[in-house]
Amino acid sequence: MKWYHYVACFFAGAFLGNVVPHFVHGISGDSFPSPFANPPGRGLSSPTINVLWALANLVVGYILLRVGKLSQANKWSLVVFFAGLMYISITLSSAFVEKMH
């Protein structure tokens, strides 16, 4: 695999990890921060905006999975994918800790 396949795998993990909080809050009817809030990432967006944002992340993540050629045969692609997932998970947990306060 070429280096850019690994970059795509990393960002696929990040985008797919970002689906979860926005989708769960959106379908639960809860407002949640998104890039479209005021201020971006700090203010709250409507549940509908969050579902749409989650679905957009899902599409981009899927495309990046295909570009990255993620497969069980290439263990490094899996490691890089999960590194992207771990990165976004830890980053979002820190960023959204203030959401409920």
Output Rg (C-alpha) for the chain, integer angstroms. Answer: 15
Q: What is the pLDDT of residues 30-78, one digit of tens each?
A: 999 999 999 988 889 999 999 999 999 999 999 999 999 999 999 999 9
Residues 6+ apart with CB under 8 A from 17: 84, 85, 88, 89, 92
Give dist(CA 1, CA 3) in Å, integer.
Answer: 7
What does pTM read for this prediction? 0.90
Backbone angles phi, psi at 11, to 5 degrees: -70, -25
| CA dist., res. 32 & res. 47, Å (int) | 7
- Please report which helix (H) or strand (E) contains residue 51, including its range: helix 47-68
Categorize the per-residue pLDDT at 27 as very low, low, confident or very high, splitting at 50, 70 and 90.
Answer: very high
Query: Where along the chain do its domains lie?
Result: 3-84
